[in-house]
Amino acid sequence: MKKLLHLTLAAMLLTTGVLGFTPQASANTATTSSLTSTQIQTLRTKVVKTGHQFLGVPYKFGAEYETSRRFDCSSFVQYVYKKNGIKLPRGARDQYRAGTPIARKNLKPGDLVFFSTKATTKYSRTSVKRIGHVGIYAGNNRVLHTFGEGGVKYSTMASGWWDKHYVGAARVIK
């Protein structure tokens, strides 16, 4: 059964053109699998709205919001999802593994989007090690995330740095 699951996921990755590595199945699938399509859409919207409430909260690498009132990219995503009843692991790479890979053209608000950083571009495009940053897709080619000056913010993925460093996406709400 496990081998069949891996083969199915590998086939999905090949047909969607998403990263060339196989993620682990999400423990959160049961959390959202019983929802209707309307409830799923409502949850997606709620995730983005929850993240929006933290605009301007300062960035600090390795920060946990509960203790520092600051976020880094993966603690921001983890906290926002937790506020909406979905448990995610702490690191960006583990958050990728927790979801189902999706093609960029299929992004929906609430999906997780992943990027390389200067430190991770040395890794192969097919390696999970290439992931160095995570954010929440907010629709209209925008990512809600945190890094550097200004803390939590929206950035465009349509062009520039975020477009060039886009690695992949994963869906947790399904």
The label of the residue with tokens 């209707």 reads 36
Half-sphere exposure of 64 (CA within 13 A, CB side): 6
- Annotated catalytic residue: which of 6, 52, 145, 165? 145
d(CA 13, CA 63): 32
Nearest to 54 by CA among 119, 168, 146, 118: 146
Tokens 């496990």 sit on residue: 2
Residue with token string 């409830």: 39
State the amino acid at position 64 in one-letter form: E
Q: Which of 6, 52, 133, 165 is catalytic?
A: 133
Active site residue 165: no
Q: Tokens 């999400």 sit at which residue?
A: 26
Give the whole-angstrom CA distance, residue 101 versus residue 98: 9
Catalytic one of 6, 52, 73, 165: 73
Which residues are catalytically annotated?
A: 73, 133, 145
